[in-house]
Amino acid sequence: MKERLKEIKQEALDRIQSAADEQSLQDVRVYFLGKKGQITEVLKGMGKLSKEERPVIGQLANEVRDEITEALESKKAKLEQVALEQQLQEESVDVTLPGRPVNMGGPHLLRKVIRDIEDLFTSMGYEVAEGPEVETDFYNFESLNLPKHHPARDMQDSFFITDELLMRTQTSPVQARTLRKHDGQGPVKIICPGKVYRRDTDDATHSHQFTQIEGLYVDENIRMSDLKGTLNVFAKHIFGEDRSIRLRPSFFPFTEPSVEMDISCKICGGEGCSVCKGSGWIEILGAGMVHPNVLEMAGFDSEKYTGFAFGMGPERIAMLKYGVEDIRHFYTNDIRFLKQFHGV
Ligand code: 2NL
C-alpha cells in the first residue's frame, strides 16, 4: 500500500504539473482526492492491515493528500497569475497613440473683419455702442434729418412692423440715441457695428440683412480734415500702407457736406481693371460732416459743436479684401467657404 500511495503521489504531481487550465486541475482533484478517488480507494483496503501498520499507512495517506492539495493550490495560483497577465496584455491601452482629431471652429470671416475695424477705432479712443434692431421711425429716420415723405427714404426700402416701428435700415439710430444721452455735452466718439435690414432681392451684391459699421465723432472744432485723416488711417490699416484714398462729393440727408471715399485699386495700381471698372478707384464708404439739424435734434448746440460721421458695409470690405465674389457666401454657412478663412 505504501508503494501504491507513492505511485499515486507521483502520478498526481505529474498531472498537476502538466495541467493547462483550471478545469484540468479540478479533474485531477476529483480523480485523486474525491469521494471515489484514488486515495479513498487505498484507504478502503485499510481493514486488511495489521494494528501496527494502520496508523503508519493512515499518516502516509494524509501526507500524500496534503501534498497533492498543496500542489493543486499552488498550481491554481500560478494559472490565475498567467491568466491575469494575459488579460492585462490583451486589454492594454496604447497611451502613445495619437488622439482622435477634434474639429476646431474659428471666427466667421465677417466677424473677424468687424473685430479688426473695432480694434482699430477703439485704439484711436472710440467706444463701441450698440442698440436695438427693431427701431422707431423717429430714431431710424426723423432724428437723422429724414422727415416722413422725404424722397431719400426711398433709398432704403424698409421692413415696417407697425406705422412707427421697423427693422432698422442703418446703424445711425444707435448714434442718434447715444448723442441724446450725452445731454448736449461733447465729446462723443463712438463706432456702431450691427445688423441692418432692407427690403431687397438677394443677389451677389445685395442681401435683405447685412451688417454696418458707422462711426461718429462730435466735439468742438472737429473739421473735415479730421475726417479725412481718420479715413486715411483706416484705409491703410485695413487694405495696406500702399493704398491711397480720395473723397468725392456725395449726398446723405444726415451729413453736409457729404462725401464718398474710394481707395486706389491694388489689382491695377490705378491703371484701370475689371475690379475697379476701369477707374483705378474702388468705392469703400460714405461719410460727411454731421448735419446741424441732426445735432440740434439730439440736443447739441450746432454753433458750438461740429462732428464727422461715416458708414460702411463690412461685407463689402471683406469681399474686396479677401476676394469673396458673392455676398451670399457669408450667410449660407458652407463650411468649405468658411474654412478658407480660418487663421487669416
Ligand atoms: C454709407 C454711408 C453714412 C453716416 C452714415 C451718420 C450718423 C449720424 C449723423 C450723421 Cl448720427 N451721419 N452716419 C454718415 C454718412 C454716411 O453711411 O454708405 N454706409 C454704408
Asked if residue 312 lies in contact with residue 260, where contact means CB atoms within 8 angstroms, the answer is: no
**For ligand 1, atom 17, which residue shows the shortest CA distance?**
311
In a domain, residue 101? The reply is no
In a domain, residue 96? The reply is no
Is 256 annotated to bind ligand?
yes
Asked if residue 307 lies in contact with residue 322, where contact means CB atoms within 8 angstroms, the answer is: no
Does residue 186 share a domain with residue 159? Answer: yes
Does residue 235 share a domain with residue 139? Answer: yes
- The alpha carbon of 113 and the centre of ligand 1 are apart by a number of angstroms equal to 19
In angstroms, the CA 287 to CA 217 distance is: 12
Cβ(117) – ligand 1 distance below 6 Å: no
Q: What is the pLDDT of residue 5?
A: 84
Cβ(294) – ligand 1 distance below 6 Å: yes
CA 221 to chain centre: 44
Q: Classify the phi-psi angles of 80: left when phi > 0, otherwise alpha if psi is within -120 to 50, otherwise beta.
A: alpha
- The alpha carbon of 287 and the centre of ligand 1 are apart by a number of angstroms equal to 6
In angstroms, the CA 170 to CA 174 distance is: 9
The residue-averaged pLDDT of 260-268 equals 90
Could you tell me the CA-to-CA distances from 173 to 22, 105, 108, 205 in Å, in that order? 86, 33, 26, 24
Does residue 142 share a domain with residue 86? Answer: no
Per-residue pLDDT at 155 exceeds 80: no
In angstroms, the CA 192 to CA 89 distance is: 63
Does residue 152 share a domain with residue 13? Answer: no
**For ligand 1, atom 15, which residue shows the shortest CA distance?**
287
Does residue 260 share a domain with residue 170? Answer: yes
Least confident of 67-81, 82-96, 152-166, 195-209: 152-166
Which cell goes with 92?
492594454
Per-residue pLDDT at 148 exceeds 90: no
- The alpha carbon of 258 and the centre of ligand 1 are apart by a number of angstroms equal to 9
Per-residue pLDDT of 50-99, as tens digits, reads 888 888 888 888 888 989 899 889 989 998 998 899 999 999 888 898 98
The residue-averaged pLDDT of 286-306 equals 97
Q: What is the pLDDT of residue 94?
A: 86
In a domain, residue 98? The reply is no
What CATH number is associated with residue 137? 3.30.930.10
Does residue 234 share a domain with residue 149? Answer: yes
Q: What is the pLDDT of residue 64?
A: 87
Nearest to 170 by CA among 202, 233, 213: 213
Pick the residue with more confidence: 43 or 328? 328
Could you count the other beta carbons within 10 Å of the beta carbon of residue 239?
18
What is the number of the ligand 1 atom nearest to the C-alpha of 312? 20
Q: Which of 91, 126, 156 is the last residue of a domain?
A: 91
Does residue 83 share a domain with residue 126? Answer: no
Q: What is the pLDDT of residue 241?
A: 94
Q: Which residues are CB-contacts of 335 (< 8 A; sequence separation ≥ 6)?
A: none
Q: b/e per residue, 305-325, with b = 16+ CB within 10 A?
A: bbbbbbbbbbbbbbbbbeebe
Least confident of 39-53, 70-84, 109-123, 136-150: 39-53
The domain tally of the chain equals 2
The radius of gyration of the chain from alpha carbons, rounded to an integer in Å, stands at 46
Cβ(175) – ligand 1 distance below 6 Å: yes
Does residue 83 share a domain with residue 118? Answer: no
The residue-averaged pLDDT of 291-296 equals 97
In a domain, residue 260? The reply is yes
Q: Which of 62, 91, 120 is the last residue of a domain?
A: 91
The Cα angle at residue 282 between residues 276 and 283, in degrees rounded to 5: 135
In a domain, residue 104? The reply is no
The residue-averaged pLDDT of 172-177 equals 96
Does residue 286 share a domain with residue 184? Answer: yes
Q: Name the band, by pLDDT with cuts 50, 70 and 90, for residue 22.
A: confident
- The alpha carbon of 312 and the centre of ligand 1 are apart by a number of angstroms equal to 8
Pick the residue with more confidence: 27 or 267? 27
Q: What is the pLDDT of residue 37?
A: 87
* Three-state SS at 330: helix
The residue-averaged pLDDT of 105-112 equals 93
Q: What is the pLDDT of residue 49?
A: 84
Cβ(311) – ligand 1 distance below 6 Å: yes
Q: b/e per residue, 20-41, with b = 16+ CB within 10 A?
A: eeeeebeebbebbbeeebbbee
Q: What is the pLDDT of residue 233?
A: 97
Q: Which of 91, 123, 144 is the last residue of a domain?
A: 91
In a domain, residue 99? The reply is no
**For ligand 1, atom 6, which residue shows the shortest CA distance?**
309
**For ligand 1, atom 19, which residue shows the shortest CA distance?**
311
Beta strands in the chain (DSSP E): 127-128, 134-136, 165-167, 188-197, 209-219, 245-252, 255-264, 281-290, 306-312
**For ligand 1, atom 18, which residue shows the shortest CA distance?**
286
In a domain, residue 123? The reply is yes
Average pLDDT over the chain reads 92
Per-residue pLDDT at 154 exceeds 80: no
**For ligand 1, atom 5, which residue shows the shortest CA distance?**
311
In a domain, residue 32? The reply is yes
The residue-averaged pLDDT of 31-51 equals 86
The residue-averaged pLDDT of 156-185 equals 93
Q: What is the pLDDT of residue 156?
A: 65
Per-residue pLDDT at 190 exceeds 70: yes
Pick the residue with more confidence: 2 or 314? 314
Per-residue pLDDT at 278 exceeds 90: no
Per-residue pLDDT at 9 exceeds 90: no
Query: What does pTM read for this prediction?
Result: 0.73
Q: Which domain holds residue 298?
A: 109-341
Q: What is the pLDDT of residue 262?
A: 96
Asked if residue 146 lies in contact with residue 166, where contact means CB atoms within 8 angstroms, the answer is: no
Does residue 176 share a domain with residue 276? Answer: yes
Does residue 130 share a domain with residue 87? Answer: no
Q: What is the pLDDT of residue 163?
A: 87
Q: Which residues are CB-contacts of 243 (< 8 A; sequence separation ≥ 6)?
A: 235, 236, 263, 264, 266
Asked if residue 275 lies in contact with residue 268, where contact means CB atoms within 8 angstroms, the answer is: yes
Cβ(254) – ligand 1 distance below 6 Å: yes
The residue-averaged pLDDT of 252-271 equals 91
**Burial bucket for residue 65 (CB in 10 Å: 0-12, 13-18, 19+):** buried
Does residue 232 share a domain with residue 130? Answer: yes
